[in-house]
Amino acid sequence: MSIQSGNTYKIYNGKSGTILDLSGTDGRTISGFSDNNGDNQKWLLEQGPGGHWTFRSVASGQYLGIGGPVEDGTPLVSVDEPVGWDIYPDDSDSGVFRVYVPGAPTAMNIDLSDHGNPTPGTLVTLWGKWEGKNQTWRFGQA
């Protein structure tokens, strides 16, 4: 599947199957959660002129961002200003993608923490690239 700018997606973790979820409680925390078809689980993807992608929450209008320094374990959060990301197919499975921080000194990508723990509310963080499926994501039309 190709990702199209201007389309809205649900984003499923490649290991757990949980969906990228903006907390309905605090409106900031990004975690993996069971699919409930809520707008807080739908993301409008837009590709800018530099090729980077933004993820905008349908529920809040905020963007997928980084809650601290670009390093292992930093949580993803919603932010007011657009944040650019790179999206590439996984090296070993063309049906899923990896989402990277552009220009990071090492390949830092979005990671469902605790090795892809499927428990609802598991934080989504940054982590250096490794072969774990918990760093891969499937984009489904919302």
Mean pLDDT calculated for residue range 27-52: 97
Asked if the model's pLDDT at residue 123 lies above 90, the reply is yes
pLDDT at site 2? 87
Output the average pLDDT for the chain.
97
Provide the pLDDT confidence category of residue 33 given band limits of 50, 70 and 90. Answer: very high
Distance CA 19, CA 35 (A): 6
HSE (side-chain half, CA atoms, 13 Å) at 138: 13
pLDDT at site 49? 85
pLDDT at site 1? 67
pLDDT at site 82? 97
Q: Which two tokens stand for residue 80?
A: 């007011």
Question: Using an 8 Å Cβ cutoff, are 132 and 90 in contact?
Answer: no
Within the chain, strands assigned E span 8-13, 19-22, 30-33, 43-47, 53-57, 63-66, 76-79, 86-89, 97-100, 108-112, 122-128, 137-141
Mean pLDDT calculated for residue range 115-123: 98
pLDDT at site 122? 99
Percent of the chain residues past pLDDT 70, beyond the cut: 99
How many Å separate Cα 95 from the centre of its chain?
Answer: 16
3-state secondary structure 56-85: EECCCCCEEEECCCCCCCCEEEEECCCCCE
Summarised one tens digit per residue, pLDDT across range 63-109 is 999 999 999 999 999 999 999 999 999 999 999 999 999 998 889 99
The domains found in the chain, sorted by start residue, are 8-141 (2.80.10.50)
Mean pLDDT calculated for residue range 16-39: 98
